[in-house]
Structure 1
């Protein structure tokens, strides 16, 4: 693990958090870390505020491949991306200094909308109907038609995203060491006329998924990337794939992904 020690703090400013962060700044500087004002200058990006803040920190700083991300929750919170609480920040600093952490690499999915800009997602990309009418999507795997989906929408999730929206749609929880992504249905319509698989399915990272939105009056679905809606009006196609992009985070050696899943759900 790199010994670079430039820290950037990402958080939503409010009076209570600001005072806490001032304390964190002082503790970090006392332990030999340098606080920087621009994330581009940081080797370690620290989010404060739970999993939602962690996802935003990764997105707002551009899914950087040359730094390490770590998450800190506020008092009384827990998170699957966050190993530390704001009250034990000094423990995190000690761990960083003494190599008591392990670097883990979370795979992300790459999403292209309407053959345009590429967006990365650490959790999931979701397409949902915005009107009281089913959305119709032709689902293609490696350019071959797989099914025509009718329902409220589809979720395409990473392994770490499998504990979020996908889980509520009865998807599987996937080990993040598995390089794959999962497609799950939201309220599919299945009857004698319309038929979908009716269950989540998992694709290897080398597969390409294409979701073609059938233009039948439901042409303005909500596209969400992690926890942000994408401001694109008319959506015609969504292409999903995986490359070698990963998000590097740190974890305590005695705190595995499955330890966190157990604490969160069991």
Structure 2
């Protein structure tokens, strides 16, 4: 087995981020790690910052299937994707090289988003679609190619289990255990009256399901779409297919800091 010690640090390009990156490289050099400036050469990809930096690290390195991702916090705030702190390089080294049961590798599911049946994207947290102007939008929602509802409102959000604690929760979506392979759709300010009717609740779909959105092209708008914390603007959007990807993201997790520990700490 290849030794897991080639590490790439991802940080924002601001002076403060680059300074923290240099600081972490100096700390980790005391241990048996090889720091690389090329993410493709690494088998460990470490983000420096909060959850936003972690999501960017995963996206910018193209959702590597042969690497382990770790999040390193730079403040005392509680984050969902960061299990380590910049001041404790020793704990990171121990976690990545431990042979006992104090740590484990978790596998997080990803969404696969196919736009117009030709552009494919992955998401770790969620995918959102909204109108680009101050106007509601309409689209037909299909589950496994069977029409489910005609939606009108501000937009829709589709999230993974790990993304269920973010934007989805603020829309009254369920919090889903990441060990459950599924995905969730929640509505953003849907219309429900005598002219328009939607389910009104979040729906959770099994990993084998396909969710399809067919946009109403008679409307005078084009959508703004969000992939995790990154905007995607494609003017000519007709159809969007969302499924649970066969790919996953592997992360190192300290057992005393499980997903449900984080939920309790953050919300209770």
- TM-score, normalised on structure 1? 0.96
Is there any run of 5+ residues in structure 2 with no aligned partner, and where? none
8 Å CA contact retained: 2:223, 2:233 = no
Mapped partners of 1:77, 1:220: distance in 2: 37
Match of 1:42 in 2: 42
Pairs aligned (count):
266
Match of 1:16 in 2: 16
Mapped partners of 2:16, 2:245: distance in 1: 40
Residue 140 of structure 2 is aligned to residue 138 of structure 1: yes
Residue 184 of structure 1 deviates from its aligned partner by 0.2
Match of 1:114 in 2: 116
Residue 2 of structure 1 deviates from its aligned partner by 6.3
Task: Determine which of 163, 166, 169 is the counterpart of 1:164.
Answer: 166
Match of 2:104 in 1: 102
| Secondary structure of 1:192 counterpart | coil
Mapped partners of 1:11, 1:122: distance in 2: 18
Is there any run of 5+ residues in structure 1 with no aligned partner, and where? none
1:13-48: CA deviation from partner (whole Å, max 9, x where unpaired)? 333333333232122222110001110000000001
Mapped partners of 1:261, 1:206: distance in 2: 27
Note closer, same or farther for the CA distance 1:218–1:225 as it changes in structure 2 (3 Å cut).
farther
Note closer, same or farther for the CA distance 1:206–1:18 as it changes in structure 2 (3 Å cut).
same
Alignment of 1:154-233 (within 5 A): 154-233=156-235
1:180-212: CA deviation from partner (whole Å, max 9, x where unpaired)? 000000000000111000000000010001001
Mapped partners of 2:237, 2:16: distance in 1: 41
Mapped partners of 2:88, 2:28: distance in 1: 12
Mapped partners of 1:16, 1:111: distance in 2: 34
Residue 97 of structure 2 is aligned to residue 127 of structure 1: no
8 Å CA contact retained: 2:95, 2:252 = no
Task: Determine which of 235, 238, 241 is the counterpart of 2:237.
Answer: 235
8 Å CA contact retained: 1:131, 1:218 = no
Mapped partners of 1:101, 1:3: distance in 2: 17
- TM-score, normalised on structure 2? 0.95
Residue 234 of structure 2 is aligned to residue 257 of structure 1: no
